[in-house]
Structure formats: C-alpha cells, structure tokens
C-alpha cells in the first residue's frame, strides 16, 4: 500500500489533482500507463531521468505491489522490512542540476517510505551493466545511433518489457532502431503504441501463444478491462 504523500505527488505530477496541476510532469499523459507497467514488474531500469518525471510513475507502480520481505534482525530483537522491488535510474546528469538541490534526496525518501529500493547511477547509459530487469525504459538522446547502441547492450537484459518514449516526436530516429531490434530478436513483439504526448511504445517478450492471448484481451480492453501479459514463473525471479 502506498503512502498518502506518494499518492498526492503522483496525482499532482499526473495532472489528476486540479489543485496541483502546476506540478504536472511533461510525462503526465503517460503516468497511468507507466504506473501499470511498474506494477507488473519487480525491477525497473530507466535510461534518462532529467528532473525525475517518469520516475514518480514507476515508483507508484512498484509501491502498489506492496512488496517487502520481513526478516528477523541478527540479534533477534526486531523485525526488519527489506524491499524486494527496485527502481534503478541512470543519467549522465544528476537530477538536482535540472530541478534543484534536494530533488533526488526527496525522491529517495519517498521510495524508502514505500519499501522500494532506489538507486541513481550518474553515468552514460552506454557505460553501465544492467542485470535482472523486468522493464527497461529508454528516454535518452532519441537518436538512431544512441538507441541502436542501447538496444544492443541492454535490450535482451529485460525479462518482460522494453519501453520507449518520444516514438512519435522523434519517430524518424527511434522507429528504425526499434524495427531493426525486432527483426534481429523475434522473441520480442510490439504490445502497445500510443501517439499521445510525443508517443510511447511498449515491446513485450512473449511467445506466439501469449501473443494470441494478448489479441483476445485487447478485444476485452475496449470495454475498459486492462490486460497484463502473463509470464512463466522463471521470469519473475
């Protein structure tokens, strides 16, 4: 269960709360989708952070899961709650330089309060090693060269999702890189694509059988029912 404070920040950033729309993120149009994708995962990596926008949506989704492992302390004098969900944010520029001093510290405080481990890595997305991810969010330089390199390095490190922002606004650069990846790795399929707010595209790692189930559930979604792909337990380690 998320804290009241995190819920209030999420609604403000998403533009849901009319009294706080001055705080709305430029990613607001995708906040509910990002929250849902985060909820489907236990570990999310985001490449490109800026002032911490999408991070709030992923944090909300991860916190929704309510996952914390309760263990006994070494002296057996207390019970400890250890997060088993994680958000790893990677950018070559520190978020405080975009949004002011204390931005990252505030975010990490809310992550801790909601039992989500958060780590910020100040580095190029091309100089990091990603392991054990369920979703990788690509939102860096939006060039063909950059995204192609990121996909070759990290694309198959995700067990479930690859998510791309600005697939409409920067389509001429991003779409060729995504299509080349799809051609090389047939285990990935386009699960969702929307044109709102510069566009966002989701690839899902799934079998043909799972794809057919997806089509069936897409029909149901027209009546408002949401669908989440189901995966083998081995992908949820």
Res 56: pLDDT: 95
pLDDT tier for residue 19 given thresholds of 50, 70 and 90: very low
Whether 233 maps to a domain, the answer reads no
> Are the beta carbons of 91 and 49 closer than 8 angstroms?
yes
Please state the φ and ψ torsions of residue 11, each to the nearest 5 degrees: -65, -35
User: Among 4-8, 81-85, 121-125, whose mean pLDDT is lowest?
Assistant: 81-85
> Are the beta carbons of 210 and 191 closer than 8 angstroms?
no
DSSP 170: T
> Residue 56 and residue 223: Cα distance in Å, rounded?
28
Whether 159 maps to a domain, the answer reads yes
Whether 5 maps to a domain, the answer reads no
Q: The domain containing residue 193 runs over which residues?
A: 26-205
User: Among 15-24, 139-148, 198-207, 217-226, whose mean pLDDT is lowest?
Assistant: 15-24
Place of tokens 């002011």: 100
Total number of domains constituting the chain: 1
Whether 218 maps to a domain, the answer reads no
Please give the structure tokens belonging to residue 84.
Answer: 């088993």
> Are the beta carbons of 144 and 177 closer than 8 angstroms?
yes
Task: Tell me the mean pLDDT in the region 124-151.
Answer: 96
Whether 214 maps to a domain, the answer reads no
- How many residues in total does the chain contain? 237
State pTM to two decimals: 0.82
Whether 182 maps to a domain, the answer reads yes
CATH number of domain containing 184? 3.40.50.150
């Amino acid at each position: 269960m998320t804290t009241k404070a995190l819920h209030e920040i999420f609604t403000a950033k998403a533009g849901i709360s009319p009294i706080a729309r001055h705080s709305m993120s430029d990613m607001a149009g995708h906040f509910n989708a990002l929250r849902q994708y985060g909820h489907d995962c236990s570990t999310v990596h985001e490449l490109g952070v800026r002032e911490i926008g999408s991070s709030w949506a992923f944090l909300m989704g991860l916190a929704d899961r309510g996952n914390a492992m309760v263990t006994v302390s070494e002296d057996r004098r207390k019970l400890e709650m250890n997060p088993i969900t994680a958000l790893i944010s990677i950018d070559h520029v520190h978020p405080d330089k975009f949004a002011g001093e204390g931005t990252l510290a505030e975010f990490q405080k809310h992550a801790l309060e909601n039992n989500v481990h958060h780590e910020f890595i100040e580095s190029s997305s091309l100089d990091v090693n990603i392991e054990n991810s369920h979703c990788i969010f690509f939102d860096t330089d939006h060039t063909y060269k950059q995204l192609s390199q990121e996909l070759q390095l990290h694309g198959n490190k995700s067990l479930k999702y690859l998510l791309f922002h600005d697939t409409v606004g920067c389509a001429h650069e991003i779409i060729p890189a995504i299509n080349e990846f799809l051609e090389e790795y047939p285990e990935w399929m386009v699960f969702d694509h929307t044109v709102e707010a510069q566009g966002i595209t989701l690839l899902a790692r799934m079998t043909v059988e799972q794809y057919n189930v997806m089509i069936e559930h897409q029909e149901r979604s027209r009546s408002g029912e949401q669908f989440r792909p189901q995966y083998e337990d081995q992908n949820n380690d």
